[in-house]
Amino acid sequence: MRLILLGAPGAGKGTQAQFICERYKIPQISTGDMLRAAVKEGSELGLKVKEIMTSGGLVSDDLIISLVKERIAQPDCENGFLFDGFPRTIPQADAMKEAGVKIDHVLEIAVADEEIVKRLAGRRVHPDSGRVYHVEYNPPKQEGKDDVTGEPLIQRDDDRESTVRNRLAVYHEQTAPLVDYYRQWAEEEPQAAPAYHRVEGIGSVDEITRKVAEALEG
């Protein structure tokens, strides 16, 4: 299965990706996680993108498209993959279309902006695995520690309130148009286009997981 998770920052893409990838045995391709790993390593790519990410802007399409093309050519993507945070602009979506990358499902997780600010303020992550928690809504078993490794959890640099507001503005301007892009394509060419599903992202993590499974398995 090949699928795209679409949704605002903090909508729960990473959270639901964990469940979907386990269930369908496919790798999670989070462009955000890949870029954060590059920043942490201090690689050339990392140095290029650090400032943009901290401000909540988008990294250039060319850079992202080549990163993703390289990633999906890896052997573990043969049976499918999940895109989390990609595509994020119309040119990124067009690049996949032009490369003939066939996607089975686009799943939109819809959450209002006010809820997102609360979610991101309480988010904690395990940087090496990308596992995501929330101090109140999805707490780890042991405070401040990852459930699997016991290593410390951290707060992301871009989860400061002013940056969150900028990320939301960028989302509405550049990424939200993909909702219509994929919806229209599904209407016009139901055979070639991915199936489009929209799930309301408000409710407990388990409730959303149930809705996601229902949408994908119909």
Q: CA torsion, points 216, 211, 92, 1, in degrees to nearest 10?
A: -30
Measured between alpha carbons, how far is 59 from 50 in angstroms, rounded to an integer?
Answer: 9
Non-local CB neighbours of 13 within 8 Å, separated by 6+ positions: 5, 6, 7, 30, 84, 85, 109
User: Is residue 209 a contact partner of residue 118, using CB atoms and an 8 Å limit?
Assistant: no
Q: Which one of the spans 39-47, 54-62, 74-82, 189-197 is the region binding ligand AP5 (CB under 6 A)?
A: 54-62
Q: Does 183 appear as a known binding residue?
A: no
Among 32, 81, 178, 216, binds ligand AP5 (CB under 6 A): 32
- Asked whether position 14 contacts Zn ion by CB under 5 A, the answer is yes
Residues in the chain, overall count: 218
- Asked whether position 133 contacts ligand AP5 by CB under 6 A, the answer is yes
* Contact of residue 195 among ligand AP5, Zn ion, none (CB under 5-8 Å per partner type): none
Minimum separation from the CB atom of position 2 to ligand AP5 (A): 16
Measured between alpha carbons, how far is 94 from 61 in angstroms, rounded to an integer?
Answer: 11
**Residues 58, 62, 65: CA angle, nearest 5 degrees:** 90
| Identity at 195, one-letter amino acid code | A
Annotation marks residue 160 as catalytic: no
Strands 123-126 and 131-134 come out as antiparallel
- Asked whether position 9 contacts Zn ion by CB under 5 A, the answer is no
CB nearer to ligand AP5: give 92 or 216: 92
Minimum separation from the CB atom of position 176 to Zn ion (A): 17
Nearest residue by C-beta to Zn ion? Answer: 14
- Asked whether position 130 contacts ligand AP5 by CB under 6 A, the answer is no
User: Is residue 166 a contact partner of residue 157, using CB atoms and an 8 Å limit?
Assistant: no
Measured between alpha carbons, how far is 74 from 99 in angstroms, rounded to an integer?
Answer: 16
CB nearer to ligand AP5: give 80 or 122: 122
Residues of this chain that bind ligand AP5 (CB under 6 A): 7, 9-15, 31-32, 35, 52-53, 56-59, 64, 85-86, 88, 92, 119, 122-123, 132-134, 137-138, 158, 167, 203-205, 208
Binding positions for ATP are 10-15, 123, 132-133, 203
